[in-house]
Amino acid sequence: MLTVEDLSAAHGPVRALDGVHLTVEAGAITAVLGANGAGKTTLLRTISGLVPPRGGTVHFDGDDITGWPPDRVVRRGLAHVPENGGVITELTVAENLRLGGLWRSSAQRRAAHEHVLALFPPLASRLRRRADTLSGGERQMLAIGRALMSGPRALVLDEPSLGLAPLVTRRILDLLRELRMTVLLVEQNARGALSVATRGYVLELGRVVADAPAADLLADDRLRHAYLGF
């Protein structure tokens, strides 16, 4: 469903991505792992249209979306949940969710709203509360729920477990698996990410240094110690 070929990007003079190749199969969770500064966030932001590519292509569901503006990428069916979720803390839970589907019809928004609350029951009792009153786990649920309000066929998520307690992290990762949709997941928690992913890619200094089924990456002691930190 999502294919990245020879993708390069930079922040000023600093080359953040250098010829990245990556494939995300439809319905699968694919993990992108690596140390801080490896280029993981830049990869997601380039795919989503937030960072202009210096070279290469991004294909999504049959379309070349390279360099598309973010709003067009979302309307095509690819939603991005940024690091720390990006919820608007001054707004209520209901208002944040509404923002995720503003461009859709009323019927589509109602159906998506019911779907999100069924997936994340804690949000149902907090609809009128401001987002800044939520726990870290609830705020991450809200961020994912807001992305789902756009009716995506695929999600790209940047560090959804960041700052969360281990039990909450486990719940968030399990929820991603329960979504049963195409997911590209960037995570520092390599062990947790590989436990829910079918395939993993390891980035180092903007380049892919490993690409294998998740179970193989977990079993490779040399790779785990060298790049994944466990």
Residue 1 and residue 72 in one domain: yes
| CA separation for the pair 24, 49 (Å, rounded) | 17
pLDDT attached to residue 186? 95
Residue 43 and residue 73 in one domain: yes
Q: What angle do CA 210, 156, 62 make, to 5 degrees?
A: 85
Neighbouring C-beta atoms of residue 125, cutoff 10 Å: 10
| CA separation for the pair 90, 95 (Å, rounded) | 10
- Strand ordering across the sheet containing 55-60: 14-24, 2-11, 55-60, 63-64
Q: CB of 149 within 8 A of CB of 113?
A: yes
- Please report which helix (H) or strand (E) contains residue 185, including its range: strand 182-186
pLDDT attached to residue 84? 83
Residue 71 and residue 25 in one domain: yes
| CA separation for the pair 38, 24 (Å, rounded) | 19
CATH number of the structural domain spanning residue 187 = 3.40.50.300
Residue 73 and residue 15 in one domain: yes
| CA separation for the pair 49, 187 (Å, rounded) | 20
pLDDT attached to residue 221? 83
Q: CB of 59 within 8 A of CB of 94?
A: no
Residue 7 and residue 21 in one domain: yes
Structural domain ending residue among the three candidates 152, 170, 188: 152
Radius of gyration (Cα) for the chain, nearest Å?
Answer: 17
Stretches in the chain below the pLDDT threshold 70 = none
| Number of structural domains the chain divides into | 2
Find the domain containing 120 and state its range: 86-152
pLDDT attached to residue 109? 95
pLDDT attached to residue 225? 76
